[in-house]
Amino acid sequence: MGRAPCCSKVGVNKGAWSAEEDNLLVKYIQTHGEGNWRSLPKKAGLRRCGKSCRLRWLNYLRPCIKRGNITADEEELIIRMHALLGNRWSIIAGRVPGRTDNEIKNHWNTKLSRKLASRGIDPKTHKFITTDSSNRAGDRFDQFQSEKQYYCSQRSQHLVSNVPKVVKVGRSTDLVIPHVHNLKADLKVQETENKSSSRSLPVESHNTNISMSSDECYNYTPADSAECASLISSSDSVEAKCDSRDLHDNGCHWNEKHDDFPEYDVFNFFDVSNAENEICCNDDYWVDEGSADQFVKQKQAPPQSGQWDKQIDVEGKDNLGYPCMNAHDLSDHANNDVTVMSWEAALWY
DNA sequence: AAATACGTCAACCGCGCGAAG
DNA sequence: TCTTCGCGCGGTTGACGTATT
């Protein structure tokens, strides 16, 4: 038995919407709210398929839709999200305020994928396109440098100018994936369950049931210390480290530049004043040149468990002695024990 | 000026999922 | 447990505008 059509195809308008149709749809939804798309056309006096009404509303008529060109910052965010999530446009759209999945998908297919390709980056895998069969993990360092420069080039120029030389400590990784805060709900569905769909994700979810594939690296923020401990102990399944921004960042960048997306660390990719948050897989890590010696030194003499967390709590300084967070920040991260996770992960993975 | 190629994006389509019965 | 239904998703199409020949 075939699947029943979503609506009768007889006498149903198709194609571009008229202003009159838009008005009918908007007025109906303003009065009755969204939902019940199947019955909506008849009730609203529209000769349209319910799915068509839904699409028109979600992609065009909703009042929160952002008009205008997609900005460079939005592009960067989309690229980074795509590196993590692939073609999961609805999830990506959920992280780009005012943009629809359709819009992002179109923008990706028409512009961003070509832009990446022109940079020598495969838009599907986010790896560098090479005809050389030696593109193995150990040869990724130069590619990382180039990719880093590319992503930074999408940012404001002063950040580009601050890109330090990167030195390699340990072995390289195979895949460069930028870290993005608070994606755990999304990644949970993507990675752990054999479900093919990841739709309707609760953005506010605090699910942390994430496992990592063996050759990929994700950064995310654990919910609490217990989760950190759990992840650290399960080295088989966790090959990523948490964001260590809070360990190193003086907070200024965040407060000044990320007002549009306060809940996401979306612009901190390759913020190279940081060290091990750049790329972290297994016992591999990258540090910026200025931090390398100290990082290695610290690696040889790790603090006691909880020491870093305590240090920041009490003194508000990071591991290099710089002011790290103000009281407000500390409060924000009281249940977000990224410091311990980052440090221990950097040491022991 | 006309024809053609190309780029953009709104809209359509089929499918999968979850809820309800 | 199975079927049906509504919804939402990603992939694709096609109309339209612009650029190029």
Residues A96, A80 within the same domain: yes
Domain identity same for A30 and A51: yes
Of A41, A63, A85, the domain-final residue: A63
* Å from the A35 CA to the C7 C1': 9
Q: Smallest Cα–C1' distance to nucleotide B9: which residue has it?
A: A106
Instruction: Please name which of A207, A272, A260, A316 lies closest in space to residue A71, comparing C-alpha atoms.
Output: A260
Q: Does the C-beta of A123 come within 7 A of strand C?
A: no
- Report yes or no: A164 and A289 within 8 Å, Cβ to Cβ: yes
* CA–C1' gap, A30 and C3, in angstroms: 34
Residue A270 maps to a domain: no
Across A189-248, where does the E strand assignment appear?
A: none
Q: Tell me if A308 is assigned to some domain.
A: no
Q: Is residue A84 domain-shared with residue A114, that is, in the same domain?
A: yes
Please check whether strand C approaches the CB of A199 to within 7 Å.
Answer: yes
Q: Is residue A283 part of a domain?
A: no
Q: Is residue A28 part of a domain?
A: yes
Nearest to A144 by CA among A240, A326, A329, A269: A269
Same domain, A74 and A99: yes
Q: Residue A222: its pLDDT value, please?
A: 37
Q: Is residue A319 part of a domain?
A: no
Domain boundary among A86, A109, A129: A129
- Which residue range forms the structural domain that includes residue A103? 68-129
Task: State whether the beta carbon of A113 lies below 7 angstroms from any atom of strand C.
Answer: no
- Do residues A43 and A16 both lie within one domain? yes
Residue A39 Cβ < 7 Å to strand C:
yes
Nucleotides of B under 7 A from a protein CB: 7-18
Half-sphere exposure of A27 (CA within 13 A, CB side): 10
| Coil, helix or strand at residue A336 | coil
Domain annotation covers residue A204: no
Q: CA A138, C1' C16: Å apart?
A: 49
Last residue of a domain, one of A98, A129, A160: A129
Residues 269-288 of A with CB under 7 A from strand C: none
Residue A40 lies in a domain: yes
Which one-letter DSSP state was computed for residue A37?
T
The nucleotide minimizing the C1' distance to residue A40's CA is C6
Q: Enumerate the nucleotides of strand C whose atoms come under 7 Å of any protein CB.
A: 4-12, 15-16
- A58 shares a domain with A15: yes
Specify whether A122 is located in the same domain as A89.
yes
Q: What pLDDT does A277 receive?
A: 30
Q: What is the pLDDT of residue A47?
A: 85
Query: Do A56 and A86 belong together in one domain?
Result: no
Question: Is residue A13 assigned to a domain?
Answer: yes
Nearest residue to B16 via alpha carbon and C1' = A197
CATH number where A14 lies: 1.10.10.60
Domain count, chain A: 2
- Cβ of A59 less than 7 A from strand C: no
Does this model's pTM top 0.75?
A: no
Predicted pLDDT of residue A60: 87
Give the residue nearest to nucleotide B15 (CA to C1'): A3
Q: What is the mean pLDDT of each run of 10 residues along chain A (349 residues)?
A: 51 83 87 83 85 87 83 86 84 86 88 82 77 43 46 36 27 30 35 32 26 30 38 28 26 25 29 28 30 37 34 37 33 30 24
Burial classification of residue A110, based on how many CB atoms lie within 10 Å of its CB (0-12 exposed, 13-18 middle, 19 or more buried):
exposed
- DSSP-derived letter for residue A121 is B
Q: Residue A18 CA to C18 C1' — how many Å? A: 24
On whether both A32 and A55 belong to a single domain, the answer is: yes
Strand C contact at CB of residue A56, distance < 7 A: no
